[in-house]
Structure 1
Amino acid sequence: MTTPSTPTPASETSTSTAASETKPTPRTTTSWLRDHSELGVCALLLALGVLVLTDALTMDVDITQRGPVGPKTVPVVVGIGLLLVAALLAVDVLRGGRGQAETGEDVDLTEPADWRTVALLSGVFLGSAVLIEPLGFPAAGALLFWGAAYALGSRRVDRDPLIAAVLSLAAYALFDKLLGVPLPGGPLMGVL
């Protein structure tokens, strides 16, 4: 036997439906910022552009200019470019544009970041920056190249130091001898 159901009055049905339709989902500041997180990149580009322009415009230049392009031209163009890109990106983000997710075929987005490699590379870079003055560019550069190869997974102890030394000496010769960019030679250059 079926029991008769009690009919719901039409006024109750329309009231409950209307109440659920008019209730907006709460939009918090945190969710808005999460949806527009690319604005952080805009802020970074803006700050960098202002810094570059400030440095370029307050640059004290003692060199007489021998043409239409002086030493301030490139930094001013780069600073203006940074400000322009920041403004265009901000407009795009505020209009609803979103960046594409990484879709590289060799990138597994489910794997966590390899912080060990990042830490090793950072340590090698900072170590070579500290050692460049006392050891000179050739020795510090060789340690940088060898350390970077090791941090990225190469374990060829018979080959990597030799390649690192050749690369470092070639870079030193190119910049110091051919291009005239003075680099610290260190104690090894006094012997050679």
Structure 2
Amino acid sequence: MSISEEDGAHPRVAMPELLLGIGFLACAGAVLWQTLAIPVSPLYSKVGPKVFPYITFGGMLVLALLLILSAVRGGWQQEEEKETPTDWRSMSFVVAGLVANLVLIQPLGFTAASVVMFTLVCYGFGSRRPIRDALLGLVLALAAYFGFAKALGVNIGAGIIENQLNAAIAALTGTIGG
């Protein structure tokens, strides 16, 4: 218990946590706004394309309100966590990974951009094994890409790697099947 709570005073509002909660509330609002913009055919009965976005909005709204309530009550961080300085060098690698993904996804494709992002984020979180991280990122990115492209039929950005693999798969299946 902090000194201010022992004296009977109300705990101070934790501003960083409050801002995070408000930001999450704004994201929930964006989800609602975009959900309302989804066109719905009169052929749908009760379950249509808006059901899961509404569920997502509801979950985000509840979490945002819980975050704000926690911040108003003093925040969720322990005192020693609040005193820990931000590691800006590590944070810069994480941000660089996210920016690299945005910049590289169009020219190189989903997989290559994701591998670069994954490797930089791992480095930012303390990994010093970039080859291992890149290989793991490659496996995860290919699984995600082929899961979306083949299983769901959603193109999330084919690039150099995906086109080569698709050509190899087509050649193998053409040889095996024909």
| TM range, smaller chain | 0.5 to 0.7
Question: How far apart are the structure 1 equivalents of 2:126 and 2:70?
Answer: 40
Residue 101 in structure 1 maps to residue 77 in structure 2: yes
Question: How far apart are the structure 1 equivalents of 2:123 and 2:33?
Answer: 40
User: Does the CA-based 8 Å contact 1:57-1:76 persist in structure 2?
Assistant: no
User: Does the CA-based 8 Å contact 1:46-1:83 persist in structure 2?
Assistant: yes
The residue number in structure 1 matching 2:107 is 134
What amino acid does structure 2 have at the position aligned with 1:54?
W
Residue 68 in structure 1 maps to residue 41 in structure 2: no
User: Does the CA-based 8 Å contact 2:97-2:121 persist in structure 1?
Assistant: yes
In 2 relative to 1, CA 69–167 (structure 1 residues): closer, same or farther, beyond 3 Å? same
Identity of aligned residues (%): 36
If the length of structure 1 is used for normalisation, what is the TM-score?
0.60
Question: How far apart are the structure 2 equivalents of 1:187 and 1:180?
Answer: 19
Residue 146 in structure 1 maps to residue 124 in structure 2: no
Residues 4-153 of structure 1: pairs in structure 2 closer than 5 A: 35=13, 37=15, 40=19, 43-44=22-23, 46-61=25-40, 64-65=43-44, 68-80=46-58, 82-83=60-61, 97-102=73-78, 109-153=82-126
- The alpha carbon displacement at 1:54 in A equals 2.8
Question: How far apart are the structure 1 equivalents of 2:25 and 2:121?
Answer: 32
In 2 relative to 1, CA 91–60 (structure 1 residues): closer, same or farther, beyond 3 Å? same
In 2 relative to 1, CA 126–63 (structure 1 residues): closer, same or farther, beyond 3 Å? farther
Larger radius of gyration: 1
- The alpha carbon displacement at 1:84 in A equals 5.7
Aligned residues: CA RMSD: 3.5
Aligned partner of residue 142 in structure 1, secondary structure: helix
Structure 2 alignment gaps of length 5 or more: 1-9, 166-178
Question: How far apart are the structure 2 equivalents of 1:63 and 1:143?
Answer: 44
Question: How far apart are the structure 1 equivalents of 2:51 and 2:164?
Answer: 41
User: Does the CA-based 8 Å contact 2:70-2:76 persist in structure 1?
Assistant: no
The residue number in structure 2 matching 1:16 is none
